[in-house]
């Protein structure tokens, strides 16, 4: 066997998305050779996914012509040759436009290849006593075999040019019996799990992902995020992402003894369980935050502003954000003044307008509305675009006070703007038990716009929202 020594560590893309061939530096002398087969820091810097291998497997093959595959497994693999030489063949068996794409190459100990979940792997030995090694990021189990996808080594559409013809090669009976490509059921992608799926945001996410079988929705009765046992009962290897659409949002009730307990249970303890699950299983965690993590003393709140919550609700949301921030793959979506299905400020004002009531509305709290359809669209965009971190996401347009928004609702509902009277926060809550509120909730949208997502103007969405409410009525 001739090995090319002293290659530089390098990556080479292939026609199959995510399949990458790596040149490995091999150092040799009269005693033999040495290589760093897997070096996380260098390889991640080169672009290899930090796929967190948990098991190392070796296939030893005594004879030239031993042929194994084509097996697509439900985990990622980093494959290399320990000794000998192979002809490798890889076929994309994942759902999607590249299903059936083929890549082949000869590998010796100076090369390795990364194979994502769902890509079929096969090899044929070109020398006696060849050892083929795998690093995988999930533990093998008998149950996992039911999630494999197989392709026949002789499939005509893949048309793999085996160096040693299959009728002369060593094959197992199982491999000979695998189906042709036309009969292969593609391996589906890992799922997205939406928890809190029966709330306002959850319903908006249901609309945005309608018909997508890779997204699973769980309401509180299906998945109680405050119960640690619920997390243990689920097989997380089948998921890539959790979207947390659940939260305790009763701002004033959170100041009561009972509300304080409920707020911390739902916004902190449950979020800690979500964060721990995401870290342990290498999941992406999407979490929705609030302007209440700030005291409202700045004219414009950026993602980097330090926490300064005024009340219990804001304190629990800030604590939840801190927990989520330790998850390597996370999105924190910070919103304000959320409007969706169910009871909310806009619906209340529209109802008052219809009944001829002339309300007093706070005029010294300033911000922007955030409609749940835009939050859902923003989440979907960020999951596709990448770029983990914290993003402010509200609707766009000139900031307004609650009283100005109420006047807009009255006008759009056919009532008079003058029916709304503006009052200060202090006057409105005089004599009432209420949580402190930030007076300025305007969030800087520059970062989310730079990602390629442009929130719609709040006024435009408000008009559409009210017209839809009228149509439903």
**Phi-psi sector, 67: left (phi>0), alpha (psi -120 to 50), beta:** beta
pLDDT tens for 241-284 read 999 999 999 999 999 999 999 999 999 999 999 999 999 999 99
Backbone angles phi, psi at 185, to 5 degrees: -90, 115
Task: For 98-120, write each residue's pLDDT tens digit.
Answer: 999 999 999 999 999 999 999 99
**Percent of the chain topping pLDDT 90:** 89
Q: What is the pTM of this model?
A: 0.88
Instruction: Please name the residue that has the structure tokens 């659940």.
Output: 246
Question: Would you give the distance in Å from CA 1 to the centre of its chain?
Answer: 45
- Say if CB 369 and CB 462 are below 8 A apart: yes
pLDDT band at 235, cuts 50/70/90?
confident
Q: Is 139 a catalytic residue?
A: no
Q: Is 391 helix (H, G, I), strand (E, B) or coil?
A: strand
Q: Give how far the C-alpha of residue 89 lies from the chain's centroid of Cα atoms, to the nearest Å.
A: 30
* Set 12, 27, 132, 134: catalytic member: 134
Distance CA 72, CA 67 (A): 15
pLDDT tens for each residue of 154-202: 999 999 999 999 999 999 999 999 999 999 999 999 999 999 999 999 9
- 134 is a catalytic site residue: yes
Q: What are the structural domains of the chain?
A: 10-183 (2.60.120.10), 191-472 (3.40.50.720)
Contact 441, 336 (CB under 8 A): yes
Q: Is 449 helix (H, G, I), strand (E, B) or coil?
A: helix
End-to-end CA gap in the chain: 79
CA dihedral of residues 400, 289, 387, 219 (deg, nearest 10): -120
Catalytic residue (one of 22, 71, 292, 428): 71
Q: Which two tokens stand for residue 248?
A: 């305790």
8 Å CB contact between 294 and 309: yes
DSSP string covering 318-338: HHHHHHHTTSSSEEEEEE-SE
């Amino acid at each position: 066997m001739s090995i090319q020594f002293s290659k530089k560590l390098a990556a080479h893309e292939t026609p199959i998305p995510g399949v990458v061939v790596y040149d490995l530096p091999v150092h040799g002398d009269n005693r033999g050779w040495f290589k760093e087969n897997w070096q996380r820091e260098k390889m991640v810097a080169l672009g290899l996914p930090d796929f967190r291998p948990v098991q190392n497997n070796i296939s030893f093959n005594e004879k030239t012509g031993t042929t194994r595959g084509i097996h697509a497994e439900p985990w990622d693999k980093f494959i290399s040759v320990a000794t000998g030489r192979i002809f490798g063949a890889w076929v994309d068996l994942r759902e999607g436009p590249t299903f059936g794409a083929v890549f082949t190459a000869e590998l010796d100990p100076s090369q390795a290849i990364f194979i994502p979940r769902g890509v079929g792997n096969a090899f044929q030995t070109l020398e006696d006593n060849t050892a083929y090694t795998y690093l995988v990021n999930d533990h093998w189990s008998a149950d996992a075999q039911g999630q494999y996808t197989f392709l026949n080594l002789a499939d005509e559409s893949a048309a793999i040019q085996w160096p040693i013809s299959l009728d002369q090669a060593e094959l197992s009976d199982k491999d000979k019996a695998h189906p042709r490509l036309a009969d292969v059921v593609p391996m589906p992608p890992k799922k997205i799990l939406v928890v809190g799926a029966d709330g306002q945001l959850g319903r908006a996410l249901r609309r945005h992902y309608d018909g997508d079988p890779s997204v699973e929705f769980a309401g509180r009765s299906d998945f109680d995020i405050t119960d640690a046992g619920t997390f243990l009962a689920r097989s997380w290897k089948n998921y890539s992402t959790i979207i947390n659409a659940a939260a305790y949002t009763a701002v004033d009730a959170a100041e009561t003894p009972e509300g304080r307990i409920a707020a911390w249970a739902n916004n902190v303890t449950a979020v800690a369980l979500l964060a721990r699950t995401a870290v342990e299983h290498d999941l992406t965690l999407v979490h929705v935050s609030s302007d209440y993590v700030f005291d409202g003393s700045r004219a414009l709140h950026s993602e980097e502003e330090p926490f300064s919550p005024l009340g219990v609700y804001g304190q629990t949301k800030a604590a939840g954000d801190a927990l989520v921030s330790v998850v390597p793959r996370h999105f924190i979506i910070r919103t304000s003044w959320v409007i969706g299905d169910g009871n909310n400020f806009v619906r209340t004002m529209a109802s008052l307008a219809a009944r001829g009531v002339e309300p007093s509305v706070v005029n010294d709290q300033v911000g922007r509305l955030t409609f749940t359809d835009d939050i859902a669209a923003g989440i979907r965009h960020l999951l596709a675009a990448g770029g983990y971190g914290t993003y402010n996401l509200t609707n766009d347009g000139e900031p307004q006070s609650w009283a100005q928004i109420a006047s807009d609702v009255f006008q759009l509902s056919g009532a008079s703007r003058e029916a709304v009277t503006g009052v200060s926060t202090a006057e409105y809550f005089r004599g009432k038990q209420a949580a402190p509120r930030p007076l300025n909730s305007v969030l800087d949208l520059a970062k989310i716009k730079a990602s390629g997502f442009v929130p719609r103007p709040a006024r435009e969405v408000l008009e559409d929202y009210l017209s839809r409410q009228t149509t439903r009525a």
